[in-house]
Structure 1
Amino acid sequence: MVFPLLLLNSNERTRLIEVAGIGNFVVFMVALGVAVFDSYEYMITKSSITPLLATKSIMASVAPLVGAISMALTALLHLWAWVFIKDQHLRHTRWKTSAILEGVYISIIAIVITFACIGLHGFYWLNFKRNLAHGMFEAMAKANKSTELVSHLHDIQMDYTCCGVTGISDYFNASEINYPNVDNPFVDSDWTGCDSGYCYIPFSCCRAEVYDCTPWAAVLRDKYNLVEDSYVDEMYHQAGCVSVLGTRHSGLAQFIISGCLFLLQLAILALTMLVSTSTFVLEKVGAEEDCIVPSWILPILSSTPNVVVEHTYRCFATGNDFDRETLTKAVFRDRERLRQRTTMLHQMRRKQTSYKTQSSKSN
């Protein structure tokens, strides 16, 4: 056969309509859920994490917001597709080829948007830790200055009960911080958070239950020979912020859901085409609902739908069953006519061009 085509009876069409309708509604709900989750992600991170991410990549900082808008648009498109199928099933309107093409185009637009979201979520997930580490390095380098970036660093350390890029030891010797694929700005330089060999540990690293926590705990430890690390461990959060935030806001869940959504959309697009084309044939030939009519995966920008309808109408008019072989020949004849018409147009244009050239030379 020249293109995928199925013959469907009333029961099969009903089942396909139900599956396609449920599928579109499921995609609508999932896409809406991802949009809400991305919006929530952006809202809770825009005052602390987002500014630090922006020091390395503006795209990474706004990825959740862009993802939320894109997924909301995808949800609306699939809501329209669900209504479209419901309307076709109830046959409230007589759909033309252009109407079905518009429905297919809208479904394809939703798929393209989801595919873009996969790339966006993947980019955010793969670069989240590295971008965050870069932003935290920038903030730590200005630890003794009153800057907005430092304020964001303190907010993160307090809200997520973490300390430093990789842990509290970052504040003891920042030049030894080693995070993959991130340049350490403190290598071969004096860190601004240290003074006379002693490093200041921010209050934001203090445990909430330790009321006598001091930024100079490391100094007191050395001064009074409190060599046990437990003295410092009891006062400060030990986990690094990058690892803590990486498990909560990396975007991996959105990336996986977007990928699954994309595969589901492809399957639903095929079902939607089958439902739309079969209903379209019923309307065009004026057949009863229980008739067996063809449905197909719609070839975009092709005259095939009209050929199928004409062939089906002739079969019904003569009382014959639908014949695939005859349809194939009809499609080939239609394409051959189009090819010949195109060839004739090209020849006429060449002749006109040649005539104009000769006329200009003679003048």
Structure 2
Amino acid sequence: MRKGILSIGAAAAALSFGLTACGGESGDTTAQGAGASSSAPAAKPGKIGVILPDSKSSARWETADRKYLKEAFDAAGVQSDIQNAQGDKTAFQTIADQMITNGATVLVIVNLDSGTGKAVLDKAKSQGVATIDYDRLTLGGSASYYVSFDNTKVGTLQGEGLAKCLTDNKADKPIIAELNGSPTDNNATLFKNGYDGVLKPKYDSGEYKKGPDQSVPDWDNAQAGTIFEQMLTQEPKIGGVLAANDGLGNAAIAVLKKQKLNGKVPVTGQDATVQGLQNILAGDQCMTVYKAIKKEADATSQLAIALAKGEKPAATATVKDTQSGRDVPAVLLDPQPIYFDNVKDVVADGFVAKDELCTGDFADKCAKAGIS
């Protein structure tokens, strides 16, 4: 885990180097000009607008992303406006329009779907506003940059995690249910590509049996519970659940608890939320995927701040927009698998506080997991 965290830091450092180098080149050009221009005061940075998607699909958007982005912008002395669309596509577009009208020179978005996101990005571009796709790539969009994790790898880790837990449980030809993310979220597609890459060969060989496979609109946890309840009614002998994030995983666990199957049927997750980690400590969830949100937010804020200052920062990679064919400048960070024996690393990294995680009955479980 430590090695993984260091690799994330290295990616952020690489981005920081790119920004520094770019800024240095700008300074060198000025120094070669007239003497008067070299002592001219720097232009005041522009304003940065950020639109988060919702607060119910995952706690991270309000508890982590907002906090880390705001701290970075404030530390740099750059004015910012961070709002949450709460899953409303009309509100998403209205917020974007207001931010542009109110003088945003950089717009950072987490799209609700590619159609809405593209409309917002295209309008911003037409107004001369620089744009960043944060966490989710807008297919067919025009974002100047994209910052996220390697989302196919996230899915691969989930598939490998479920396989590990099934092996530990000595499961014999288990029936696997797949509870996928929103069909309008490109990340959900990438996650599924990753875990299906692990699971399909096992289906083909007969090691596992493919069971119900369904996407959850808008990552809605309540709908996920209903969908999984129907899955379990359809196939009572489900032996493993590939849930695309901790919220969907918890919805499945709640249904399994009603049937006294929790802990007997491995369930995956993603985001290393307090709830997800507590489910792991309790033995109800077999693993989650930790994405160091602060590193993602820091990489994004560095790009946004540079753009607000009129710089053209360098990215560390590109990703292919499968709809437009465009290579989008990108920063991709490494995700990490989390099981019972390394939950402590998420706490040590400062992402989750011990006092919040190890409450009540979880105090003893934390101690057993080495969380001190």
TM-score range relative to shorter protein: under 0.3
Q: How high is the TM-score relative to the length of structure 1?
A: 0.23
State the structure with bigger RCO (CA 8 A, min sep 6), 1 or 2.
1
Q: Which has the higher helix share?
A: 1
Select the structure of larger CA radius of gyration.
1
